[in-house]
């Protein structure tokens, strides 16, 4: 069987990894790194709520679980970069865990206690995550970046960085430090976040869409009102990418919109640095990115004639 020539793109194409066991398959796609490593499944597989570990003075166990899981990904991908996203677990999804019975009943979990806001309230979890990354960094895994989910104010970024430093990891030096843009407030204030110091930004369009359009992404009754291509969502996306480009900050996307060909074409035109998609979509995304890049070059060349 004839082998296809590799597709070369300047825009990087990366993998989203939700289960560490899937890392080898993600790597086999030729992905340029992991643009989103989710933590939620690591915790669900452990079967115990992270807060329970902390309350029972079993922080070491929690750190070790994180180390073992993150290792499966950073080792397979080394030296390609892996962006680890700190825990983002809506309360309703963690109730089944041992210790999950203490999760509060929230009227609107999607607007509730999740992402960085919760991790700053219960900073023991965030500390354990940074400790795990420090251990891996000390072992020579210098390919780890940290990404903060659901930030809505630059102060959250400042506080998260401080905790990272307290654990002995220096942001921007030991690890790349970045954030997700998932709340309209973050897209609107992106310059203020950049001013706090960011190595990269990743557009979480799944949440950005739900919060911009006031459409619960898990509610079937309003599913028809959910669209990443709504002009307001695209305006926030464009604003974020252009501001990052102006400031020389790497800007990526890890939401599902990054797997939609005609959206990807627009993002490449706006100047996105990388697109991260599920493993099964990576080849198609790479082809789309290559086509979009070549179209840009061709259009520019024709203009000069």
Q: Summarize as ranges the residues that interact with ligand PEP (CB under 6 A).
A: 36, 38, 182, 204-207, 254-255
> Are the beta carbons of 243 and 191 closer than 8 angstroms?
yes
Positive or negative, the Cα torsion across 210, 35, 12, 246? Answer: positive
Closer to Mg ion by CB, 207 or 228: give it: 207
Contact residues: Mg ion, CB under 5 A = 182, 204, 207
Structure tokens at 292: 């979009």
Q: Tell me the CA distances in angstroms from 173 to 43, 87, 179, one per residue in order.
A: 28, 22, 16
Phi/psi of residue 237, nearest 5 degrees: -65, -45
Residue 182 Cβ, how far from Mg ion at the closest point, in Å?
A: 5
Of these partners, Mg ion, ligand PEP, none, which one is at the site of residue 205 (CB under 5 to 8 Å by kind)? ligand PEP
Q: How far is the CB of 258 from ligand PEP (least distance, A)?
A: 9
Q: Which is nearer to ligand PEP, 143 or 252 (CB)?
A: 252
Pairing mode, strands 34-37 and 82-85 = parallel
Least distance (Å) from ligand PEP to the CB of residue 298? 31
Indicate which of Mg ion, ligand PEP, none lies near residue 38 (CB less than 5 to 8 Å, by partner kind): ligand PEP
Between CA 94 and CA 116 the distance in angstroms is 16
Q: How far apart are CA 143 and CA 68, in angstroms?
A: 16
CB closer to ligand PEP, 151 vs 169: 151
Mapped onto helix, strand or coil, the DSSP state of residue 78 is coil
Shortest approach of Mg ion to residue 3 CB, angstroms? Answer: 37
Give min distance, CB of 52 to ligand PEP, in A.
23
Residue 294: CB atoms within 10 Å: 11
100 binds, among ligand PEP, Mg ion, none (CB under 5 to 8 A by kind): none
Nearest residue (CB) to ligand PEP, 119 versus 182: 182
Nearer Cβ to ligand PEP, position 169 or 179? Answer: 179
CA distance 274 to 32: 9
């Amino acid at each position: 069987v004839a082998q296809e020539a590799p597709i070369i793109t300047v825009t990087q194409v990366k993998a989203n990894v939700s289960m560490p066991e899937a890392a080898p398959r993600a790597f086999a796609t030729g992905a340029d790194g992991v643009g989103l490593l989710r933590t939620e499944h690591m915790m669900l597989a452990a079967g115990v709520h992270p807060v329970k570990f902390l309350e029972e003075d079993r922080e070491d166990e929690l750190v070790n679980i994180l180390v073992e899981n993150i290792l499966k990904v950073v080792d397979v991908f080394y030296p390609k970069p892996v962006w680890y996203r700190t825990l983002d677990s809506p309360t309703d999804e963690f109730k089944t865990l041992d210790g999950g019975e203490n999760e509060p009943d929230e009227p609107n979990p999607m607007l509730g206690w999740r992402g960085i806001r919760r991790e700053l309230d219960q900073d023991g979890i965030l500390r354990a995550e940074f400790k795990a990354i420090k251990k891996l960094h000390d072992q020579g895994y210098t390919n780890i970046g940290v990404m903060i989910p659901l930030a809505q104010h630059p102060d959250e970024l400042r506080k998260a960085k401080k905790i990272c430093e307290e654990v002995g990891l220096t942001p921007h030096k030991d690890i790349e430090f970045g954030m997700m843009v998932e709340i309209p407030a973050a897209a609107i204030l992106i310059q203020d976040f950049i001013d706090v110091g960011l190595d990269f930004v990743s557009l979480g369009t799944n949440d950005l869409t739900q919060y911009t359009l006031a459409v619960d992404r898990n509610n079937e009754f309003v599913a028809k009102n959910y669209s990443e291509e709504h002009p307001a969502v695209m305006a926030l996306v464009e604003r974020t990418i252009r501001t990052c480009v102006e400031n020389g900050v790497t800007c990526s996307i890890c939401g599902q919109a990054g797997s939609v060909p005609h959206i990807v074409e627009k993002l490449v035109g706006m100047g996105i640095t990388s697109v991260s998609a599920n493993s099964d979509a990576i080849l198609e995304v790479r082809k789309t990115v290559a086509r979009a890049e070549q179209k840009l070059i061709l259009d520019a060349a024709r203009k000069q004639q």
